[in-house]
Amino acid sequence: MKLWLPQEQSLASQSPIIQKTPDLDSHDNVYALAFGAHPDDVELSCGATLLKIMDEGHRVAVCDLTSGEMGTLGTPETRRLEALHAQQVMGYSAREILDLGDSELFYTQENLHKIIRIIRKHRPVTVFCNPPEERHPDHMKASRLVYDACFYAGLRRIETMLDGEPQQPHRPQHLLYYIQFRQPEPDIIVDISSTFERSRQGIMAFGSQFYKQDRKEEPVTMINRREFLTGLEARAHALGELIGAQYGEGFKLSGNLAVRDFTCVFTRPTPPRQ
Ligand SMILES: [Zn+2]
């Protein structure tokens, strides 16, 4: 399997900390924490997979690194309300909005520590984030920040506080890069046939960003073109075809995928579609 980052950079392979099974009954712990540089990145790129995780009985939280205030369409307040609406529609346990600065998402210790604080607060097993090679510079910056924060969050000598209390170290087991503008070959494809339609409702919560018949006079952006959402569906359909499913969502892995329960990964084939 071709890796997105060299094996020696895998979070799991470098972890000096023995991970304990998260206590899912504890208030803030989640199975998956999905980061996005902008408020709609998560829903557009991995929303159906997050719904699938929740359907399997796990908690999911989302963290927007910025409010998307430099976007061509929508105001910061509109985008914040849309993000919270998407949270309700999707059913996330929490949605954090960090406001690190749209188009000013710089690699600083302060920004890194804010992300570490979110990771230690929610203590996810799996993290999703923007891919490292992308068209939008914010996506690449977010990817680097989140990768590094996942690693450093496991170092006990990096101290962070939450509500006046020191936080315990925590390193996520897995980091998956979702696919955005560029189209790399995915390492894994998730069958999202059961959640694809619902995921569209999460996307449409960000109504200010997409094409509407009565807003033809608005400036054209990459995602408010009339063809954008049909293109997104076509991509999900094409990825689904590769695994014999109706729809699929692809991901790059940040390290090797360890197979601990063989038959959970290599399941019986689903019956061929008629
Ligand atoms: Zn974005």
CB 223 within 8 A of CB 22: no
Q: Is residue 9 part of a domain?
A: no
The domain total for the chain is 1
pLDDT by residue (tens digit) across 167-187? 999 999 999 999 999 999 999
Q: What is the mean pLDDT of the chain?
A: 86
Q: Is residue 132 part of a domain?
A: yes
pLDDT by residue (tens digit) across 110-122? 999 999 999 999 9
- How would residue 265 be classed by pLDDT, with cut points 50, 70 and 90? confident
Cα of 136 vs centre of ligand 1, distance in Å, is 7
The answer to whether residue 12 scores a pLDDT higher than 90 is no
pLDDT of residue 220: 66
Cα of 105 vs centre of ligand 1, distance in Å, is 12
Cα of 156 vs centre of ligand 1, distance in Å, is 32
Cα of 36 vs centre of ligand 1, distance in Å, is 7
Cα of 237 vs centre of ligand 1, distance in Å, is 22
Q: Is residue 224 part of a domain?
A: yes
**For the residues 75-96, what does the mean pLDDT come to?**
91
CB 191 within 8 A of CB 248: yes
Cα of 233 vs centre of ligand 1, distance in Å, is 18
Cα of 144 vs centre of ligand 1, distance in Å, is 14
> CB-based contacts of 242: which residues, under 8 Å, 6+ apart?
189, 248
Of 32-36, 45-49, 84-88, 227-231, the range with the lowest mean pLDDT is 227-231
pLDDT of residue 273: 58
The CATH number for 230's domain is: 3.40.50.10320
Cα of 33 vs centre of ligand 1, distance in Å, is 17
CB atoms within 10 A of CB 269: 7
Distance CA 93, CA 95 (A): 7
Q: Is residue 49 part of a domain?
A: yes
pLDDT of residue 8: 35
Cα of 191 vs centre of ligand 1, distance in Å, is 24
Phi, psi of 162 (to 5 degrees): -140, 125
Cα of 70 vs centre of ligand 1, distance in Å, is 11
Percent of residues, the chain, with pLDDT higher than 90: 67
Q: Tell me if residue 62 falls in helix, strand or coil.
A: strand
Residue, of 29 and 104, whose pLDDT is higher: 29
Quote the pTM value.
Answer: 0.85
- DSSP for 173-200, please give it: SEEEEE--SS-PPPSEEEE-TTTHHHHH
Q: Is residue 240 part of a domain?
A: yes
114 lies in which domain range? 27-256
**For the residues 241-270, what does the mean pLDDT come to?**
91
CB atoms within 10 A of CB 81: 15
pLDDT of residue 274: 54
Of 107, 108, 104, 82, nearest to 95 (Cα)?
82
> CB-based contacts of 236: which residues, under 8 Å, 6+ apart?
48, 192, 196, 247, 248, 249
- Which residues are 252's β-sheet partners? 177
